[in-house]
Structure 1
Amino acid sequence: MYKHLTKPGTVCGKYIRKLNMDGVLLWPICIVKMLQACPNIQELSIIDYQYYGGKGDVRDLLSEILHILPNLQKLDIRYSRYFKNRNAIEKLIETRKDLEIRVTWQM
């Protein structure tokens, strides 16, 4: 799916409203590229996302997601160890009252 969505000239991504990327094994930069191809997403699920490398890293994937997807209404990042910045998530919850967010805290 990644190769198809990010292929130059492909426009099918604009029709995607809901995207589940649960357990995905992509670099953060690849996730950003996919989301840029699907700007009308309203519901995004990235459950159990784990990324431990430095290659393909994005400074702040959570902020990038919100910037790329202005129509986002639901965000599910449960069990995703990559989104471990509790302060950023709490700020997001406080500032985006229109956004339904599901998150789990890893102890």
Structure 2
Amino acid sequence: MYTIQANTSGTRTMEISEENLQTIRKFMLFQHLISSTGVVEEQDLEKLKMNIRSLIASQEDDCKDLLDLCIDIIYHNNMKAFGLQQLINLYKEWDAKYPAEIIEETVEE
């Protein structure tokens, strides 16, 4: 379990699970999300929400992982642009530490 800071003062935090990070990777949710400036704004959070809604609507299979991500993180009351930036930073660190090939190999075993 990971913890991110959800506001600039540090009074609010959010818990991020390994499963949440794997879901972000599985659906490539951060790909092309942020503009070239690298600054995360509220409109980026809204764009992410719309992308996830679209994915859920188009899923023929069970999309429990996406729904869990929405409930636990994306639609959480504390999630704002600052929290999304922290989540993206956490994801980048996690992705570098646990490349996709390693995760897939451990799942298959």
- The TM tier, using the shorter chain, reads under 0.3
TM-score (norm 2): 0.25
Bigger RCO of structures 1 and 2 (CA < 8 A, at least 6 apart): 2
Q: Higher helix proportion, which one?
A: 2
